[in-house]
């Protein structure tokens, strides 16, 4: 599940749970662990009513389905890995972007693109050098 923000009440309860686990079961937990609530949910099989009630209350404070996960009623499916297409076209698209731009070019006047002026048809096409960029600024040769 996603990372949960801890309130003061949750931190106080976590401190009590941490102390109880360290004294009774020699289990140490860290508040900085992003999977802390997942690891506490795995301790539901311990036969300690005080510990179980503290963890149950912590899961209720966390909200967002943690209570159901602690009770074991939610079966999480592993996330499906995203499919990476091994084509060269996809690689060019991925690496051809500049500083997070999406790379999508929107056509503003699609109707005017189909109409070619007569002067443009008769003129010989000039070869235009591609514009070079240095630090985001175009360089004209």
**68's torsion region: left (phi>0), alpha (psi -120 to 50) or beta?**
alpha
Predicted pLDDT of residue 26 = 92
Show me where the domains of the chain are located. Answer: 8-71
Using the predicted structure, report yes or no on whether residue 80 has a pLDDT greater than 80.
no
Question: What gap in Å lies between CA 61 and CA 68, rounded to an integer?
Answer: 12
| Helical pair 8-25 and 49-62, crossing angle rounded to 10 deg | 150
**Neighbour-count burial for 49-73, b at 16+ CB within 10 Å, e otherwise:** eebeebbeebbebbeeebbebbeee
User: Where does the pLDDT of residue 78 fall: very low under 50, low under 70, confident under 90, or very high at 90 and above?
Assistant: low
| 36-55 tens-digit pLDDT | 999 998 988 889 999 999 99
Kindly report the pTM of this predicted structure. Answer: 0.50
User: Where does the pLDDT of residue 107 fall: very low under 50, low under 70, confident under 90, or very high at 90 and above?
Assistant: very low
Predicted pLDDT of residue 108 = 47
Phi and psi of 139, rounded to 5°? -115, 125
Query: Is 37 buried (19+), middle (13-18) or exposed (0-12) by CB count in 10 A?
Result: buried
CB 4 within 8 A of CB 62: yes
Reference 61, options 10, 134, 107; nearest CA is 10
DSSP for 92-121? HHHHT--TT-------S-HHHHH---HHHH
């Amino acid at each position: 599940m996603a990372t949960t923000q801890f309130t003061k009440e949750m931190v106080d309860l976590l401190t009590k749970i941490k102390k109880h686990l360290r004294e009774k079961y020699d289990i140490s937990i860290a508040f900085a662990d992003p999977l802390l609530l997942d690891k506490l949910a795995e301790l539901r099989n311990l036969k300690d009513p005080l510990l179980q009630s503290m963890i149950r209350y912590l899961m209720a404070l966390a909200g967002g389905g943690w209570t159901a996960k602690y009770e074991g009623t939610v079966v999480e499916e592993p996330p499906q890995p995203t499919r990476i297409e091994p084509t060269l076209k996809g690689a060019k698209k991925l690496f051809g972007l500049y500083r997070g731009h999406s790379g999508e070019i929107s056509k503003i006047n699609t109707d005017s693109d189909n109409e070619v002026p007569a002067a443009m048809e008769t003129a010989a096409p000039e070869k235009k050098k591609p514009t070079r960029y240095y630090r985001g600024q175009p360089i004209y040769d």
